[in-house]
A and B are shown apart, each in its own frame.
Chain A
């Protein structure tokens, strides 16, 4: 459960986030909005890269913003970035091991935890390959494997589907949908791909200029005229 209360981020004269309040309880929640709406800013506040001006964020009842940046992964908040961030001179195995180094394994053998995560995303047989040799889709999967290790509470993904082919996107979709059952974490998914959002997310939060303009069940939210005006209008017009 993520409870966001009047979260505001001020960048000079611009409000990156404007008095955002939301209770995010669904297993997978979409976060959509036009460029500059504040989606990545919200993720960055949760990661600690951006300081909030006002407001609180609680994850499972804990005040997330009071936890030191580098301890949030161990607490259970994990994320991927818009640009892929696989370490090119480490093997797939070590890329994942590097993430496990800083989170408690819950007493299980490291080897098993890593193997399970790789198996889950479908990279079990690629473990010895070096990061530099991976294609875009494999890199995304390595990043997801790093996030789902050892009991995360919340996995945030920033446009994981960008630039993937049809079949790769299909596999990615399955991997994302399975995350809550695999490791018990909630997923917060930022993406521009409405198909991906509507296929994976039970609920969707729509931001525009840092403010919440709609929040609820994905199908209903995407029908909301305000949302269509702000963001989906063009897509619908093109389709029609």
Chain B
């Protein structure tokens, strides 16, 4: 049975987080990524993990970076990589996009409509992590839905050519914007992902990212391919 994941929830107050935990359980998610502020304490993250555990949902801590320069990106990555399980970068320019794509510490990159940066073949070619598509842009569109669908279609087209993994997540800013896994997969069919690809973009690909990072964050991990065995 597939383990469905939604790696992007941007909820702030605790009441909403509790509601989201309940909803995600009802919808059938097993892993959920919740965005935290970079200065959030580890105890706070652990507390929220317990809230989600009550509903049998696994919470992965995530931080969204929006660097203005390459140097800023590298310094924040250095500070935060050991603290959060998922690191995502919103690319504001092509230079930052290429730097983020090349960096092993970046798990997901996404492209907002507000900035000039676009997902190109050159970025896809060097991308180590995965491309993230946030459905919130489509669900609550700031411009025409056709423009957003076109953007997503182009991104998926480039990703397919370069064999880049694609992760589709809801990007919900309130619990009512969370979408069920099958609904997310059906929306991904609109931007020309194949049915199996659509399902793996909300299940196997995101769960493998979380699993890989948890191994890296564990105290037994030394380096790539090296770990302490009891």
A, B co-complexed: no
